[in-house]
Structure 1
Amino acid sequence: MSSRTRRSILLQDVRPWGGAPTDITIEDGVITALAPHRADAPAPEGGDRLDGRGLLALPGLINSHAHVDKSWWGKPWVSYGGEATTQGRIAHERAERGALGIPSTDSTELVMQEFLRHGTTATRTHVDVDLGVGLDGIASVRAAAERLDGALEVEIVAFPQDGVIRRPGVLELLDRAAQEGAASIGGLDPAGIDRDPVAQLDGLVEIAVHREVGLDIHIHDGNDLGVFQFELLAERTVQAGLQGRVTVSHGFALGDVSGTRQTELVAALAEAGISWASVAPPGRGRLPWASMREHGLRLGLGTDGIRDLWSPYGDGDMLRIALGFARLHGLRYDEELVDAVRLTSTDSASFVHRDQHDLVVGSRADVVLVDAENVPDALLRAARREVVLAGGRVVVEGGELAL
């Protein structure tokens, strides 16, 4: 069923967030009513009835940090090579991507299908923009999303993986990407890669203000060097009036500081309206989550790259990412485990420019059904997504794509 010809649906006998059995009415891709389950409840006029079989219902998952353009998914296995540093990974990718046909619309579509199969219905994805591929990666991502007919909502960050200032012409490419519809532009280690943090940040901020787009900066640099860049970014965010439109991705240095200094840094970042995106990598991804929540510093989770020239890992499952986050931060109590799942759904609405994202009236009808006792059970087992609805369409049945 095309997203442009959606029918009304009565989704019966599901348990939103593990609560009481509920019937959810969906019309034109939006949740319009929730009511206690009644076996004889009438379906919307001219609509369909879908038996939820008492399954646990979650909102569609949101991937707040992906790189769908880089993957070799669907191709023969590619062995890891090159040096295990940020610069080493960049060099290896540039040397090898052409032979693998990266970027590729076909591989990108396969990754997006895996997102849907695992219950992800919206993603914010970085897409490489550089002097080699130009804007071809963005074109590939848009083409792949179009093939899925809107089932997966995709927000694009034009991303300068090979640096900005050190590659003359990249700022112009980023400006063009923003002009042609990218929701945000990205940056990368203004100090560690470009070795000129002021020039990179000033150039990016100028484009973000002029084109009225967001800004998302990868900062891998640790300790004082990373903190220095956070402070520069916060200052420029406030000066330019970009509060609520700037995100730091990874930001490992936030976990490298401690005590009063860390608390003051979190407060300053929150006051500047900066958001955080993490992929919860083991060993280096621990964040001062309690302090971030206390100060209102928004956090989203993402998969990062999936089977690409940076790493062979990844399968597109945001519940596994949430589970990794929970284990990394020592979460054990039920309410904490539920909060970890919320990071991949309701709490990440702003990362894809949604005012709300939940199993409530007015939300896009993105619903994930799993056979689990409660939300912690679904998280700890990363339970199979039995049924997934995206914008009111059934896109997964029995754990497999139904597109």
Structure 2
Amino acid sequence: MTDLLLANIRPDARQSADILIRGGRIAAIGRDLDRPEGVPVVDGKGAIAIAPFVEAHVHLDKILWGLPWHSINVPPSLRAMIDNEVAIRKDLPWGVPERAGNLMRRCVEMGSTHIRSHVDISTGYKLDNLHGVLEAWEKVKHAVGLELVAFPQTGLMIDPGTAELMEAALDEGASVIGGIDPATIDADPKGHLDTIFGIASRKGAKIDIHLHEPGELGLFELGMIAERTRALGMQGRVVVSHAFCLGDGPAHKVQRMIDVLAEAGIGIISAVPGEIGFPPMFELAARGVRCAVASDSLRDTWNPHGDGDMLDRCWLLAYRTHCRADAELLRALDMGTRRGADLLGLEGYGLEVGCEGSLVLIAGENLAQILVDRPARALVVKRGRVVAADNQWIDGEVP
């Protein structure tokens, strides 16, 4: 069903109104709308309606969600953590389709109706992780949009054949080329970046690069990324995830780099990590850099924290950056909603006539209070179809 009338709701915490969805799109917004024959009516009971959350960076193939508790072993280096994960994933009782499906349903329950997921591609995994995530998505695609990044987690230049597999992934369901720490993982920043930009340019794909490398090294690599973005005319199509160097680099160089990022149209995604510096998200936004927050690693071999709730992630940003005034809290909420949609270029996002008929109902006083208290998601609607209520998946297709 793609037709729905939501009555007695408060769009973006404004005055009470109705929203009529026809054919999966918002057809009308107003007080006491006529009730078309045959269109289901839901009484929102005065709840606030917001456009859905956007999960802009997660790893569906790594997830352990739904499995028994996994105690985290934290190896001493990034390389050791990668190798530890590869070993553990060989013996998991569930495959990628089951685990990825669990997390996608969880994200929908908490109000996210679009996900960008990185999936590991290597000569060891080949395209198995990609195929597994796509298999899971077939069961839930009515409820959530999905964008996949071909991600060389275990290395690109040091694993000959991975580049070819990443390019093949673009013909089998991925639409974004990933990268990771060109110096630390591959010890070849130029070769790594030339390879992924070359693939993206040939295939018309977007780019999303994990950049954990700190300080001067990370800023140098951001400059290399910006240089290639401009040279290939890829402004607006490149994202850097994490970018810790913007949080711990020399202040004057960070300030210059922010201008470079804005001019090159490069987006920044942060998971708001707890133990290290992260990019100044509100300053980035104020200076024209597209940016958003996301969950990244959660409930997997890297990290036991997180539950797929983007409202919680927005609150974490607010807490870590000392947001107190209502206007500050709303800017934090934007980082998991509107700014996430802008960053990923989602068409038809919003609560206006003509937009996709997708929204989240949350009972609360106002948007600031919702962010602080993080109430249950009373209803989640995707293109006019109710897909979750009271934080519970309700579609009959779920086994």
TM-score (norm 1): 0.95
Instruction: Determine the structure 2 residue equivalent to 1:34.
Output: 29
> Contact 1:65/1:303 (CA < 8 Å) preserved in 2?
yes
What does the per-residue CA deviation read over 1:230-255, in whole Å, with 9 as the maximum and x for residues that have no partner?
01110011111111111000000011
> Contact 1:158/1:186 (CA < 8 Å) preserved in 2?
yes
Shift of 1:290: 3.7
Q: Does 1:320 align with 2:315?
A: no
- 1:202-213 matches, within 5 Å, as 202-213=194-205
For 2:224 and 2:249, how far apart are their aligned partners in 1? 17
Aligned with residue 17 of structure 1, among 12, 18, 41? 12
Q: Does 1:180 align with 2:172?
A: yes
> Contact 1:243/1:272 (CA < 8 Å) preserved in 2?
yes
For 1:180 and 1:22, how far apart are their aligned partners in 2? 43
Q: Which segment is superposed worse, 199-208 or 281-290?
A: 281-290
Shift of 1:16: 1.2
May I ask how many residue pairs the two structures share in their alignment?
395
Distance 1:149 1:65, change over 3 A: closer
Shift of 1:294: 2.7
Q: Find the residue that maps to 1:241 and give its secondary structure.
A: coil
For 2:391 and 2:279, how far apart are their aligned partners in 1? 33
Instruction: Determine the structure 2 residue equivalent to 1:278.
Output: 270
For 2:279 and 2:71, how far apart are their aligned partners in 1? 31
Could you list the runs of 5+ residues in structure 2 that have no partner in the other structure? none
For 1:161 and 1:101, how far apart are their aligned partners in 2? 22
Instruction: Determine the structure 2 residue equivalent to 1:263.
Output: 255
Aligned with residue 104 of structure 1, among 91, 96, 101? 96
Q: Which segment is superposed worse, 355-364 or 323-332?
A: 355-364
Q: Does 1:151 align with 2:146?
A: no
Distance 1:7 1:244, change over 3 A: closer
Instruction: Determine the structure 2 residue equivalent to 1:335.
Output: 327
Distance 1:258 1:366, change over 3 A: farther
Shift of 1:368: 0.8
Shift of 1:181: 3.3
Aligned with residue 238 of structure 1, among 218, 226, 230? 230
Shift of 1:53: 0.4
Shift of 1:260: 3.1
Aligned alpha-carbon RMSD (Å): 1.4
Shift of 1:333: 1.1
Q: Find the residue that maps to 1:231 and give its secondary structure.
A: helix
For 1:398 and 1:250, how far apart are their aligned partners in 2? 32
2:219 alignment partner AA: V
Shift of 1:285: 4.4
Shift of 1:208: 0.3
Q: Find the residue that maps to 1:254 and give its secondary structure.
A: helix
Q: Does 1:47 align with 2:39?
A: yes
Distance 1:192 1:102, change over 3 A: farther
Aligned with residue 350 of structure 1, among 323, 342, 346? 342
Q: Which segment is superposed worse, 202-211 or 6-15?
A: 6-15
Shift of 1:45: 3.6
Aligned with residue 86 of structure 2, among 88, 94, 109? 94
Shift of 1:190: 0.3
Instruction: Determine the structure 2 residue equivalent to 1:227.
Output: 219
2:20 alignment partner AA: T
Q: Find the residue that maps to 2:170 and give its secondary structure.
A: helix
TM-score (norm 2): 0.96
Percent of residue pairs identical: 36
Q: Does 1:113 align with 2:108?
A: no
Instruction: Determine the structure 2 residue equivalent to 1:8.
Output: 3
For 1:250 and 1:287, how far apart are their aligned partners in 2? 8
What does the per-residue CA deviation read over 1:58-105, in whole Å, with 9 as the maximum and x for residues that have no partner?
111100111111111122221112404311210101111110157520
Distance 1:57 1:142, change over 3 A: same
Instruction: Determine the structure 2 residue equivalent to 1:130.
Output: 122
Could you list the runs of 5+ residues in structure 1 that have no partner in the other structure? 1-5
> Contact 1:12/1:22 (CA < 8 Å) preserved in 2?
yes
